[in-house]
Amino acid sequence: MRIFILLVLTTVAAATMAADTPALTFHPQAGWPTLPQGREKIGNMHGDVAVSSAGEVYVSVQDPDAGLQVFGADGRFLRNVPNAPSDFHGFVINRERDGEFLYGVRLREQSVVKMRLDGTVVLTIPSSAFPEALKVRNARSGQLALALTDVIVGPGGDLYVSDGYASDVIHRFDPAGKYLTSFGGKKEPYGFSTLHKLALDTRFTPARLIACDRANNRVVHLSLDGEFLGVVAKDLLLPAAVVIYRDYAIVGELRGRVTVLDKSGAAVSRLGMNTDAGVGGNQIPPELWRLGIFGAPHGVAVNDRGDLFVSEFNVSGRVHRFNRQ
């Protein structure tokens, strides 16, 4: 039986979207999160969101004094992570035998950082560790440079780092930070254009990479060894981030939408569609925000029960919570 999805943008009820299965019905939560006393805005965001095993939500912000903010499951502000960089772009929280670790790429410094959730840095992969031959010459400085956009952790602990604002190459490092290989790029069979953020797609055996090829408006699959496996979905609205939950891939699209894809790549649900002027940019002011309606999704995450968190590209900083019903 087909269930139709109604997209109405002007009421709170409109932000409730249902997939064709009761397992993925989302409702936006008003008033989430609660900011700390004396702070009116989260702050300039061009980063990501992730959830720890404790259900705490980590949000990266371009603020030297609050670069990584932590909120409880109820939305209460809990703390700033000490000494966290203020330029994390893409990051993930990975559960390992000796605890949970955050892996992130830095926009300004162009390095990869592994840190404990208390802010202790345990590994740094500097720009110099990346092959010079695969760097792109910066138009302003004339220097060969990276423009890293994301990092994820593979099944064996290897790191996959996307250079999505420059070469569109994915670089692979071992768990200790030793460079292994690179693949992808702008040439065929990849043909990437702004390979923005990645995820580990555990719906398949063996697991594979799922990547947001943003400027091509598509999501693609690659093997862990770099083989191009094909297009998952196309005709998206600048897909910026993706997260896997059960048999679904949830894609945050920069031009004001979130799409839920099933295992075949078919769209089974769409949330928060926005066609207003300014969608996809970072200048939409808080007075124009509407519950459950997106401006510029830039990061997506889920907790263990499937509640969805979407961070935006926005100078004021905005994070949505959708509860799975």
Q: What is the pLDDT of residue 23?
A: 52
Please give the sequence-ordered ranges of beta strands (E in DSSP) within 129-194, or none if there are none: 136-137, 144-145, 150-153, 159-162, 169-173, 179-184
| Interatomic CA distance for residues 75 and 56, integer angstroms | 9
| Interatomic CA distance for residues 133 and 302, integer angstroms | 37
Position 243 pLDDT exceeds 80: yes
Domains within the chain, CATH numbers bracketed: 41-271 (2.120.10.30)
Position 267 pLDDT exceeds 80: yes
Position 19 pLDDT exceeds 60: no
Which of 222, 292, 284 has the alpha carbon at shortest distance from 258?
Answer: 292
pLDDT band with cut points at 50, 70 and 90 for residue 325: confident
| Interatomic CA distance for residues 251 and 261, integer angstroms | 8
Q: Is the CB of residue 102 less than 8 Å from the CB of residue 93?
A: yes
Q: What 3-state DSSP class applies to 24?
A: helix
Q: What 3-state DSSP class applies to 214?
A: helix
Range 255-268 average pLDDT: 97
Which of 3-17, 53-67, 189-203, 304-318 is predicted with the least confidence, judged by mean pLDDT?
Answer: 3-17
pLDDT 10s digits, 271-299: 999 999 899 999 999 999 999 999 999 99
Position 20 pLDDT exceeds 90: no
Percentage of the chain surpassing pLDDT 70?
93
pTM to 2 decimals?
0.93
Range 246-269 average pLDDT: 97
Which of 79-88, 135-144, 242-251, 258-267 is predicted with the least confidence, judged by mean pLDDT?
Answer: 135-144
pLDDT 10s digits, 103-129: 999 999 999 999 999 999 999 999 999
| Interatomic CA distance for residues 312 and 302, integer angstroms | 15
Please give the sequence-ordered ranges of beta strands (E in DSSP) within 126-233, or none if there are none: 136-137, 144-145, 150-153, 159-162, 169-173, 179-184, 195-201, 208-213, 218-222, 228-233
Position 16 pLDDT exceeds 70: no
DSSP states of 301-324 as a string? EE-TT--EEEEE-BSS--EEEEEE
Report strand pairing: 179-184 vs 297-302.
Answer: unpaired
Round the average pLDDT of the chain to a whole number and report it. 92
Range 44-70 average pLDDT: 97
DSSP states of 239-301 as a string? EEEEEEETTEEEEEETTTEEEEE-TTS-EEEEE----STTTTSS---GGG-BTTB-S-EEEEE
Q: What is the pLDDT of residue 25?
A: 85
Which of 309, 299, 319, 307 has the alpha carbon at shortest distance from 89?
Answer: 299
| Interatomic CA distance for residues 321 and 34, integer angstroms | 12
**Tokens found for residue 56:** 């705490």
Which of 254, 155, 242 has the alpha carbon at shortest distance from 199?
Answer: 242
pLDDT 10s digits, 155-208: 999 999 999 999 999 999 999 999 999 999 999 999 999 999 999 999 999 999
Position 3 pLDDT exceeds 70: no
Range 137-148 average pLDDT: 92
